[in-house]
Structure 1
């Protein structure tokens, strides 16, 4: 596989905008028919977008997080499933930036710049909570490792070249094993049946005594022993996806009202777009979308500032700013996707139009982790000066 290498932030944004327009056209059909986006992901790989966070000394553009967040917002405004698939890709590129050896970074950054995709095998079902990881990474006499477990919600794994697997070693610490998609003993099951994000293929990964060389394992637990941005970067991209869904739903609603809706007979106007009550409601919705996008920008700039000078204080500020953005975009995505029907009227409910994909995507994606805990950490900080905890979900 070969891929274009993007030079800088401006090119990354231009490429993302172009792909978003291309992906938008058939997004309703892909969702309705659950047509998995193999061709679109090949376009994404070839475009070079997957390599934009590779450090400059390895040949990448090393774009700012503000740029990366906008890339995801643009893609999600067109197709939330397509935007979700590479989210974990960037998370696990970030893991290598933080904990990879020079040799690991050289190899895997070369893979990424060539357009190869990282998936994810992280979450598990039936455990006590989301951080109760029971997949085991056992050391073998020859220095390699054996990986055994079952993963769920494995977004991107079906389309991946490499599947990063979160596992615990004998010392009970967390490691990430980078496993090739075709490894013996690894099976990806396309059993995702979520009501939204239908084409993410976020199914099951089974690992049956998969052998992993020592140089494909990264000590992820070390990430959380000092100030870190792992959770802030991951959550920033989730917030960008929600902001994109909200913006896409608002644009779809406006187009529908302009071109398909009839005015209410009591309004006394000739077109629905002139109805003062609809104008008021669109203004209210636009205000929420603008606020979400503004908070997303503030959060991204806080992450960038912390990357430039990482301390306990800067990492905490980045996590709190991202928490605020995530809490707001969660509410906005669901609100606007629901209001699409309120402002558009009965015809918008036709299943053939598939406008409900925005609500289904918003409602599904915002379940990733509870916004109420984001607000809890904000409250603890503003009242008592308590810094947020170091973990991968904040």
Structure 2
């Protein structure tokens, strides 16, 4: 549970400066945290104290309300240093956004205050053994006193172990989706640290068990209303995932370049004195840099498309189908590209660095393990499918939280 006093960040420039400083601080022990699966409690307290968790709180509630372009860059910076640490707050911002869209005035006042004080939101949404990812079987049932009872089992609950509040996705009696914001120490709620993924090892994306957990009525938000009209919920969530992948790619490329400059030997046929002078390596690094630059450019385009749609929403007090679709498609393009880039560059690190880079003690394989694990969240092939449908037939993407 958070026990720090949080700074309140004033604007986009400060948010980026704070993120860059934290990234450098987190980078130092990232290989050791991964190798030993040392959970980042201290680092998350630093994150809370920094004020970064509150940067999307609206200005009329005391927050900086930064652009999505800024938020994406914050995540890219953090992921370039430690992809697990960057993923942990992804759901935090998603569920701040849920409150922004569907929370009551009282709910926004309370929870935005919590966020500005450094409180962390986790996540309990995905379930295992169901027909598909949208098949949510956790139930939110009414009680005679007007409160609710929450029962179910969640998996891949990134951030829950470190959270002050755990937003739980559940279906009510009417089968509609709601989000219940549950205190981490609520009776009947258990967080199990059973995540054993090969990558993103310190996200603690384990199991949340809910055994007749009582939830007051004022802690429940009607999430299904989000998808009854144009929405940016999915675009914002996927933008942050794309930023994490772009960060992994950039971190892997920087690590590879440093390794080649300082540790690699030139190939004997190259006729040069250092590996950094090898023309074939120079060519390969140029190709990889081009790929990373393209991913970062698409990430920026996507973030600006989301910002543009949000601006239309603010000006007209309603989101349009056209602007929401453009944002979703731009994010889909960025996510598909960053998915490929993260895996490609993390793998190419070994190609350019050579045999010594494969030593387990160096833990350079964490970039590939993190990239391969994180990019499994949702299939890029379906994002490309929606891009194709739109460019060929003008079909707008569907309204759901994964696009």
Q: Same fold (TM over 0.5)?
A: yes
8 A contact 1:302–1:321 mirrored in 2:
no
Distance 1:206 1:346 in 2: 44
Q: 1:269 to 1:19 in 2, by over 3 A?
A: same
- The unaligned stretches of length 5 or more in structure 2 are 304-309
TM-superposition CA deviations, 1:356-386 (whole Å, max 9, x none): 0000000000000000000000000000000
User: After TM superposition, what 4+ stretches of structure 1 lie above 4 angstroms from structure 2?
Assistant: 301-309
Q: Does 1:153 align with 2:156?
A: yes
- SS in structure 2 at match of 1:205: strand
TM-superposition CA deviations, 1:125-153 (whole Å, max 9, x none): 00000000000000011000000000000
TM-superposition CA deviations, 1:12-47 (whole Å, max 9, x none): 000000000000000000000000000000000000
> Structure 1 residue 195: deviation in Å?
0.1
Q: Does 1:55 align with 2:64?
A: no
TM-superposition CA deviations, 1:299-358 (whole Å, max 9, x none): 009999999972100000000000000000000000000000000000000000000000
| Match runs of 1:1-394 below 5 Å | 1-300=4-303, 310-394=319-403
Q: 1:114 to 1:181 in 2, by over 3 A?
A: same
Distance 2:90 2:125 in 1: 13
What TM-score, normalized to structure 2? 0.96
What TM-score, normalized to structure 1? 0.98
8 A contact 2:128–2:154 mirrored in 1:
yes
Q: 1:305 to 1:56 in 2, by over 3 A?
A: closer
Distance 1:53 1:131 in 2: 27
Distance 1:244 1:62 in 2: 23
Distance 1:32 1:378 in 2: 38
8 A contact 1:176–1:217 mirrored in 2:
yes
Q: 1:244 to 1:304 in 2, by over 3 A?
A: farther
Q: 1:196 to 1:303 in 2, by over 3 A?
A: farther
8 A contact 1:243–1:292 mirrored in 2:
yes
Distance 1:253 1:191 in 2: 32
298-307 or 71-80, which moves further after superposition? 298-307
TM-superposition CA deviations, 1:187-242 (whole Å, max 9, x none): 00000000000000000000000000000000000000111100000000000000
Alignment RMSD (CA, Å): 1.4
8 A contact 2:313–2:319 mirrored in 1:
no
- Number of residue pairs matched? 394
> Structure 1 residue 2: deviation in Å?
1.7
Distance 2:379 2:182 in 1: 30
Distance 2:49 2:256 in 1: 32
Q: 1:357 to 1:261 in 2, by over 3 A?
A: same
8 A contact 1:154–1:202 mirrored in 2:
yes
Q: 1:307 to 1:353 in 2, by over 3 A?
A: farther
8 A contact 1:337–1:362 mirrored in 2:
yes
Q: 1:29 to 1:158 in 2, by over 3 A?
A: same
Distance 1:255 1:306 in 2: 47
- SS in structure 2 at match of 1:115: coil
Distance 2:316 2:343 in 1: 31
Distance 2:51 2:141 in 1: 36
Distance 2:236 2:219 in 1: 23
TM-superposition CA deviations, 1:100-133 (whole Å, max 9, x none): 0000000000000000000000000000000000
- The unaligned stretches of length 5 or more in structure 1 are none
Q: 1:302 to 1:271 in 2, by over 3 A?
A: farther
TM-superposition CA deviations, 1:67-120 (whole Å, max 9, x none): 000000000000000000000000000000000000000000000000000000
176-185 or 293-302, which moves further after superposition? 293-302
Distance 1:31 1:220 in 2: 35
